[in-house]
Amino acid sequence: MGELGAKLRGERERRGIGIDEIEAETRIRAKFLLALEEERFDVLPGPAYVRAFVRDYAEQLGLDPQELVNELNARPELVPDEVVMMPPRQVAEVPLLDRRARIVVWVAAAVALALIAAVAVFLLASRGSSSGAPATPPAGNTGTGAPSSSATSATTGGTSAAATPPPAGPRPLVLVASGGDVWLKVRAGSATGKLLFANTLAAGRRLHFARKRLWVRVGAPWNLTVNVGGKHLAMPLQATGDMLVTAAGARVTA
């Protein structure tokens, strides 16, 4: 093995590269690479191939290809009719991703962005609908649109009509623990009506009921005062019992 072949083999072994890897990268058959390392140049097709293969092999190993080509030019058996300075081989940069992979990445990114935008729009729409804010009426042309129903009902024949007030509800029935704690069970209307209260009413506390009639069971009637619209009603009970309370008064019930 000569000096040139020793350089090639030594650098390859130093880098830990197999001859099959060099073959895959340079597209030079393994038997020709081994022939270069052993300087059996007669195995190769001719001097031009020897120089081309040495150049590619040297570039793959990171060696100076022109230096090795100069060594070949110094050998009489490899000197052609005209010595040609071999230009460096242009090694194309290999992209990190091929064209198909780049397309897949861009499509995936676009889909992800679209999903994020859709989720953001949905959340904003949900927040707006759940806020309960009244919708802002559109700005119309003043004087040209149809009058509202309230405006029509308020004005008839050029005279202004006063709005009819809503009917007043029942006056609240108020139970007051004026003399001390009192246990109460309160139902709407009768003994079988909806249960409104069942507990001890602490001294000084009061209950307000917007009902026309209450059925009340009283544990200590001497501690209870009944008011309707600020008017005090007489207590019909002298001991624990049941009574019906209306705006007209309170009476004992069986």
Q: What is the pLDDT of residues 209-226, one digit of tens each?
A: 989 898 999 989 999 999
Tell me what the mean pLDDT of segment 174-202 comes to: 93
This prediction has a pTM of 0.35
Query: Which segment of 71-80, 102-111, 197-206 scores lowest on mean pLDDT?
Result: 71-80
> Is residue 109's pLDDT more than 80?
yes
Tell me what the mean pLDDT of segment 3-21 comes to: 90
Task: Give one DSSP letter per residue of 9-67, joined into a string.
Answer: HHHHHHHT--HHHHHHHH---HHHHHHHHTT-GGGSS-HHHHHHHHHHHHHHHT--HHH
Per-residue tokens: 62 = 């990171």
> Is residue 129's pLDDT more than 70?
no
**CA distances from residue 99 to 8, 103, 105, 110, 177 in whole angstroms, order as listed:** 35, 6, 10, 17, 87
pLDDT at res. 73 = 83
pLDDT at res. 178 = 93
pLDDT at res. 136 = 54
pLDDT in tens, 19-48: 999 999 999 999 999 988 888 888 888 888
pLDDT at res. 29 = 93
Q: Mean pLDDT score of the chain, rounded to an integer?
A: 80
- Can you give the C-alpha Rg of the chain in angstroms? 53
